[in-house]
Structure formats: C-alpha cells, structure tokens
Amino acid sequence: MKRIAILTSGGDGPGLNACIRAVTRTALKQGAEVFGVRRGYTGLVQNAIFQLESRDVGGILGKGGTILGTARCPEFKDIKVRRTALRHLNQQGIEGLVVVGGNGSLTGAVVLHEMDFPTIGIPASIDNDIDKTDIAVGVDTTLNTILEAVDRIKDTASSHQRAFLVEVMGRNCGYLALQSGLAGGAELILVPEIPGPSLEEIAQEVVDTYVRGKGHCIMLIAEGWQPGTRAVEEYLLSRQGELGFDVRVTVLGYLQRGGRPSVFDRTLGTRMGAAAAEALLSGQSGQMTALKAGQIIFVPLAEAVQQLKPLSRNLLKLVELMD
Ligand code: ADP
Ligand code: F6P
Ligand code: MG
C-alpha cells in the first residue's frame, strides 16, 4: 500500500492534530503518500481530499480542534453515499484510510472495512464512551478543563454557602461526570448508567451535606442523566427554605471540547497515530488502536463499537468510599 488518507469525524477534541501529524509523518517515513480529507466523511463524499506533506503538519501538536475540520455526516449511513465516497478515494488511487473519531465515526469505519476498503480506527472522543480501550484521545485534556472549572466553582460555592449543579458533557456516558466528580471531591455525582436517585433523595442529600457542616455542595451531573439538570434545579428551588444552601447551575458546555491538548493526549495521539499508519501500510484493516495497561494494542473495530464503554466498577467503589 502506497497511498493512504486520514480524516477526523464527529465531535472535535484535543489531541486530534497529534493523530494527524503522527499518521502523516509515520507514513511518509515509510515511503507512502498521505492525503487529508476535509470535514470528516463529508469531505469523502464531496471529494475534498488533498495531499499532505511533512511541513503541512508542523506546528499543530499544541493546537486544539482539528486542522482537517470535522463534521457529522448522517447521510454516510446510506450505502449509495458511501459508494460515492469510495469512488472518490479510488479515483485518487488511495488504498487505505485512517478514521479518527468517536463511536459513531468508528461505526462508519467498520462499514467501510466491510465494503472491502482497508480502514483503521483511532478512538478520539471527549466522552470516553468507546469500548475496548482504557481511554480515548481528548479525554484527559477535557477532564483537566472540567476540573479547573469545578475548582473555581468550589471557591464561590464555599464563599457563599451554595449548592452548585455542574453539568458536563458525555452524551449517554457518565464517565466525565464520574471521573471529574471523583477528582474534584463532588458531594453527589449523577450518571445515566445508574438510575436515580429521586429528586427528593437529591434534596435530602443536600440537606445532609449542610447538616454535616460542609460549606458547599457540588453536584456533577452528566448531560445524559435523566430527568436532567433543570429538573433538579426546579425541585431544589421549590424546597429552597429547607436546604440550608442557595442553589446555582453551571452548564460547562463547549468549553470542554477545545483547548491545548495535555501531555497525555499529545503522547496518546502520537502513539496511536504512528501505530495506525504502520498497521494500515502493512495491510491490516478493520482494527482500532487501543490503550490497554499502558500498551498500544489493536482490537477489532466491530467489537469496539458493539456497546458503549461501561463505567469502571473500581471508580464507582472509590467514589462511594470518599463520601
Ligand atoms: P462521534 O464519532 O463523535 O461519536 P457521531 O456519533 O455524530 O460522532 O458520528 C459521526 C459520524 O459518523 C456520523 O455523522 C456519520 O457520518 C458517521 N456514522 C455514524 N454511524 C454510522 C453508521 N452506522 N454508518 C455509517 N456512518 C456512520
Ligand atoms: O461527542 C462529543 C460531544 O461533545 C458530546 O459530549 C455532546 O453530547 C455532543 O458531542 C454535542 O454535539 P454537537 O457538537 O453536535 O452539539
Ligand atoms: Mg460518540
């Protein structure tokens, strides 16, 4: 294989540029030609494919976002649209593709592999919902961003004796809330994987926190948790007089996605990018790079996208212990 392409797809996150740089430079060093695809699968469909040289990926390691652009491209689920995409790759003589993205993007990669187009995936999503890898590219930086916000909010919460509802991203996965709640010393963590507690139980928890003499009550709420942050806010406000604390809400939103990647994400992106390029050039397909016990390994893409990554039992136990 002598000509490969790379695309970034789905939600952006820190460390995508490290992946692009590593795939490009590793493949160039092996004598291959490398092509970048703009805006994820949309660029394949629109034939927005251009050649990448080593200098094109210089100076990007410390930048958030993705120099290739990214997109959600729902029409890619349609086989006719994917055939158009493959025709564009074939016209340029491109023989293999590296897909960098979340569980949705990697599902697209499985389908391309099943259409006999050599494809390797790199897990990159702030949600850390991709199974079969300990962590995805972008998660570490996002957690640090969330923690900085939580620490700041705690200053205000303690100064004013307030209960704060802090909503974090994660789509249907509670990992960001759980991990940042643990590291941020939250009083309560609400994740979609664990149903409940009821609004009444949450109010009781706030009262208990006050009675125990704490100066604040920080609650980390995953965006996928039901009935949702606003429902908790409304309920707590309806019982404001009994709580002891004033109630405030902060939805962290898109602050969590951008920004300079951490050392960990730059390194993980570089390791996974280099491994992905080597695998593709040596003829592998349908595999995803994964971090397991500190080592980069390969797992079948189809297995990685079969289910969302379950929350770690050990992490859950640790949260209980710290209560
Ligand atoms: P992420 O990759 O961050 O999880 P999405 O779930 O939005 O983000 O998926 C990104 C893109 O991956 C989708 O917009 C679509 O282009 C592609 N994709 C997702 N699921 C499929 C599928 N079943 N078949 C083909 N492409 C898919
Ligand atoms: O998958 C990353 C993520 O930021 C999720 O946490 C969030 O639910 C979603 O993307 C938001 O998507 P969009 O950028 O399309 O609003
Ligand atoms: Mg996803």
Q: Can you spell out the DSSP letters for 195-260? A: ----HHHHHHHHHHHHHTT-S-EEEEEETT-SS-HHHHHHHHHHTHHHHSSEEEEEE-GGGGT-SP
Rg (CA), the chain: 22
The CATH code belonging to domain 140-257 is 3.40.50.460
CA of 154 to the centre of ligand 3 (A): 29
Edge-to-edge strands of the sheet including 217-222?
A: 188-190, 217-222, 162-168, 246-251
Q: How confident is the model at residue 196 (pLDDT cuts 50, 70, 90)?
A: confident
* Arithmetic mean of pLDDT, 32-51: 98
* C-alpha span between 216 and 8 (Å, rounded): 41
Contact 222, 173 (CB under 8 A): yes
What whole-number distance in Å separates Cα of residue 39 and Cα of residue 182? 35
Inform me whether the pLDDT recorded for 323 exceeds 90.
no
Q: Is 171 touching ligand 2 by the criterion CB < 6 Å?
A: yes
Beta-sheet strand order (sheet of 96-101): 49-52, 33-37, 3-9, 96-101, 119-123, 287-292, 295-300
Model pTM? 0.98
Given a cut of 90, whether residue 190 has pLDDT beyond it is yes
Give the pLDDT confidence of 87-123 residue by residue, as tens digits.
999 999 999 999 999 999 999 999 999 999 999 999 9
Residues noted as catalytic? 127
Q: Which part of the chain has CATH 3.40.50.460?
A: 140-257
| Tens-digit pLDDT profile for residues 134-171 | 999 999 999 999 999 999 999 999 999 999 999 999 99
- Fold classification of 3-138+261-307 is Rossmann fold (3.40.50)
pLDDT-based confidence at residue 67 (cuts at 50, 70, 90): very high
Mean pLDDT of the chain: 97
Statement: residue 240 has pLDDT above 90: yes
Of ligand 2's atoms, which has the minimum distance to the CA of residue 257? 4
Cα 187 from Cα 65, distance rounded (Å): 32
Cα torsion angle, 226, 70, 115, 46, sign:
positive
Q: Which residues contact 320 (CB under 8 A, 6 or more apart)?
A: none
- The residue length of the chain stands at 323
Q: Which of 103, 134, 139, 94 is nearest to 121 (CA)?
A: 103
| Cβ < 6 A, ligand 1 pocket | 9-11, 41, 72-74, 76-77, 101-105, 107-108, 111, 125
Question: What is the Cα–Cα distance from 65 to 8, expressed in whole angstroms?
Answer: 10
Reduce the secondary structure of 252-311 to three states and give it as a string: CHHHHCCCCCCHHHHHHHHHHHHHHHHHHHCCCCCEEEEEECCEEEEEEHHHHCCCECCC
Mean pLDDT, residues 284-313 taken together: 97
Structure-token pair, residue 53: 């040289």
**Which residue's CA is the closest to the ligand 2 atom numbered 9?**
171
Nearest-CA neighbor of 23 among 130, 100, 117? 100
Pick from 93, 171, 191, 90: nearest CA to 125: 171
Pocket residue to mutate for ligand 2, from 126, 146, 229, most atoms within 8 A of Cβ:
126
- Which ranges of 30-167 would DSSP assign to H, the alpha helix? 41-45, 79-91, 103-114, 139-160
Report whether residue 127 contacts ligand 2, using a CB cutoff of 6 Å: yes
At residue 41, the 3 state secondary structure works out as helix
pLDDT in tens, 14-38: 999 999 999 999 999 999 999 999 9
Nearest protein CA to atom 3 of ligand 2, as residue? 11
318 pLDDT band (50/70/90 cuts)? Answer: very high
- Residue limits of CATH 3.40.50.450 in the chain: 3-138+261-307
Which range among 1-5, 120-124, 312-316 has the greatest average pLDDT?
120-124
In 3D space, the residue among 319, 12, 54, 300 whose CA is nearest the CA of residue 142 turns out to be 12
CA distances from 26 to 45, 55, 216 (A): 26, 13, 50
Give residue 168's pLDDT: 98
Between CA 100 and CA 264 the distance in angstroms is 17
Class of residue 80 by CB neighbours under 10 A (exposed 0-12, middle 13-18, buried 19+)? exposed
Which of 258, 186, 264, 262 lies closest to 222 in space, CA to CA? 186
- Rounded CA-CA distance 54/20 in Å is 11
Ligand 1 atom closest to residue 103's alpha carbon, by position in its atom list: 4
> Ligand 1 center to residue 53 CA distance, Å?
28
